[in-house]
Chain A
Amino acid sequence: MHASVRESAKNRIPALRGGWEHFPHEADMGVRGHGDTLPDAFAAVAEATIAVVTDPAGIDPAERVEFACSASDPDLLLYDFLNAIVYEMAVGGRLFSRFRVEIEGETLRAEAWGEPVDGRRHQPAVEIKGATFTQLAVRQAADGSWIAQCVLDI
């Protein structure tokens, strides 16, 4: 995993292609992303992850951060990707509102746009401890679209 803060890139920020939702878990929160492609589904579930903490619409996409991770199967790749975001939020003190994901073989590269946490403005509801294996699944639907999901420990 690698992450680094780069220059502002407001003009190149992609719009989310796909949708996301939260699904209930007794103690924590499930996140699910949908997309026409696997990378889009990953980007959507990443946004769902942020939305567990605060409303992504309130996060200024002023700074860009890059991530990379690799894993031998798509489930583990999602586990690593979401944990990379959790790690960057914790260590970098940042929140993100937009993601672009590329997946090539076993390797994922992502860009995330966001800003430092502002307690008063963002009012973060919770910290995420980590993505878990619970209901961890990456699958293709009958119509060819992709779904990526897991439960987050919060």
Chain B
Amino acid sequence: MDINRFTKVSDTAWRLEPQGAMRVPAVIYADEALLADMDDKVAEQASNVAMLPGIVQASYAMPDAHWGYGFPIGGVAAFDAEQGGVVSAGGVGFDVSCGVRTLLTGLDHRAIEAVQPRLADALFAGIPAGLGSTGQIHLRDQQMTDMLRGGAAWAVERGFGQPEDLERIEERGQMAGADPEAVSQQARKRQRNEMGTLGSGNHYLEVQHITRVFDPEVAAAFGLAEGQVVVSIHCGSRGLGHQIGTEFLREMAIAAKGHGIELPDRELACAPIHSEIGQRYLGAMRAAINCALANRQILTHLAREVFAEVLPDANLRLLYDVSHNTCKTERHVVDGRDRELYVHRKGATRAFGPGHPDLPEALRGVGQPVLIGGSMGTASYILVGTNEGERLSFNSACHGAGRAMSRHQATRQWRGRALVDELAARGILIRSPSLRGVAEEAPGAYKDVSRVVQASHDAGLARLVARVEPMVCIKG
């Protein structure tokens, strides 16, 4: 990317002034090298988002931003319904509420080393992963409706987890405003056998150990200490969310003109928040959020079952669960005024700072855990939200490393078997149904996650708390 197009705001903030049909500026958070490495499409897409009706303050891109659909992946934008603001199916994406949750185990990494291959095999056997895998739960229509309303709370009521888990999930595990009636039969059918499945691509379950603590005070509040083991689960709303994204993207793209919206890119398909289709989409999308929350909750239960068998001393307690692909109704101060906004985060993590009323009491004093996933062989990070994040990005931070190389290139550069062996030699056991899938997800195909989180930290979007490194990775 040509960085001369930007006004340098700081070492980690770059601004594109409004031009043409842009209503607000576009701001990219990244250090100079990350910005220079980004595809030109990121700036183009962030500028296109800035053209949408009712956008407030700026269109943002996080340090892991890369070329997405309409919105860049790592894109954040907030819209005001009272000013003709829109909700965009393209701005949420196909994998609604794809996210990460991290569980504390209370174990030292040496306890894992003693049983590592057995644990890897047991997790691979216990966690359905990859195309065609089905879970043990098969939902009839009324059960599906209940799940779409109840989210993780529905799962806990059915014995998948503990009531205290819910405190540690965004929206306390149950997204309000879900409308199961707005979810098509096709979306329901696609989900019928997929509850409690991991999916594929960049989704994973990892056993990780904490290799560095940056902020001892916050780490202690989160229950993190060097050498301790955590489990992270990255997945989303599975087929149901994918189908909702597919259907509403098409419908909104066709309906936009009727709402007087000129789309700079068809993939930015959107509708006024105050419209029938806008409200229907919000209802369906919120139901898909509940599906993702329920799915991660069931996977947590399955992981707990495996640990109970292999490492009975483990006590898997939820640190936090964050979503990446959502549109959430939130209150933010803009121009000195407290306003209700529809905040789209497409491949970005919500990062509330200390004192935010939506945080559980145990975390309110320090801020929200911000869970940044790595890429199989690389570190992941745990950060904490900041108060200045509200002004900078509506309390949003990066969500992962972000791809730097196409799957095509990755398969030409790496072989799955060799990668699995190489990682095993480094003490990281990979279990996956597909060696080609492993090659496509090679750690080297991603940006340097350490650099991405450092840029997020330096920009003030979130503060570094701890680094974790993988020991076992189950890939879909």
Contact = CB atoms under 8 A, between A and B. Distances in A.
Interface string A113-148: 000110100011111011111101000000000000
Contacts of A25: 67, 406
Best-surrounded residue of A91, A93, A125, A129 (most CB of chain B within 10 A): A125
Contact of B406 (A26, A89, A132): A26
A65 B69 CA distance: 30
Interface size class of B (residues with CB under 8 A): 35 or more
A28 B407 contact: yes
B95 A129 contact: yes
A123 B435 contact: yes
A129 B242 contact: yes
Contact of B200 (A26, A80, A127): A127
A131 B253 CA distance: 14
Given A123-B434, A153-B94, A27 B476 contact: no
A27 B246 contact: no
Contacts of A124: 130-132, 200, 433-434, 437
A93 B132 contact: yes
B190 A90 contact: yes
A42 to B, nearest CB: 17
A123 B433 contact: yes
Contacts of A126: 131, 200-201, 407, 434, 437, 440
Interface string A25-43: 1111100000000000000
A23 B406 CA distance: 9
B403 interface: yes
Nearest to B203: A127
Contacts of B266: 133, 136
Contacts of A86: 242, 246
B189 interface: yes
Given A91-B190, A129-B94, A133-B267, A53 B39 contact: no
Contacts of B433: 119, 123-124
A29 B407 CA distance: 7
B245 interface: yes
Interface in A59-77: 76
Given A93-B132, A153-B69, A130 B242 contact: yes
A90 B197 CA distance: 13
Contact of A119 (B95, B133, B243, B440): B133
A127 B39 contact: no
Contacts of A136: 266
A153 B96 CA distance: 13
A117 B189 CA distance: 18
Contacts of B356: none
Interface in B172-224: 186, 189-190, 192, 194, 199-201
B68 interface: yes
B8 interface: no
Contact of A154 (B73, B201, B245): B201
B315 interface: no
Contacts of A123: 433-437
B288 interface: no
Contacts of A127: 130-131, 199-201, 476
B409 interface: yes
B243 A24 contact: no
Contacts of B476: 127
Given A26-B406, A154-B201, A125 B66 contact: no
A117 B132 contact: yes
A33 B448 CA distance: 35
A89 to B, nearest CB: 8
Interface in B360-408: 403-408
Contact of B69 (A24, A83, A133, A154): A133
A50 B240 CA distance: 21
A119 B130 contact: yes
Contacts of A22: 408
Nearest to B239: A90
B249 A26 contact: no
B332 interface: no
Interface string B52-93: 000000000000001111100100000000000000000001
Contacts of A29: 406-408
B250 interface: yes
A79 B250 contact: yes
Of B131, B242, B245, chain A has the most CB atoms within 10 Å of the CB of B131
A87 B240 CA distance: 11
B193 to A, nearest CB: 8
A132 B200 CA distance: 18
A87 B403 CA distance: 26
A83 to B, nearest CB: 5
A25 B440 CA distance: 12
Contacts of A24: 406-409
A147 B133 CA distance: 34
Given A123-B433, A133-B253, A26 B39 contact: yes
Interface of B: 39, 41, 66-70, 73, 93-95, 130-134, 186, 189-190, 192, 194, 199-201, 239, 242-243, 245-246, 249-250, 253, 265-267, 269, 403-409, 433-437, 440, 476
Given A26-B67, A129-B242, A151-B69, 18 more contacts: A27-B66, A27-B403, A27-B406, A79-B250, A87-B243, A90-B239, A119-B131, A119-B133, A123-B437, A124-B434, A124-B437, A125-B440, A126-B131, A126-B200, A133-B267, A153-B69, A154-B201, A154-B407
Lowest 4 CB-CB distances: which A-B pairs, in order?
A117-B132, A24-B406, A124-B131, A125-B436
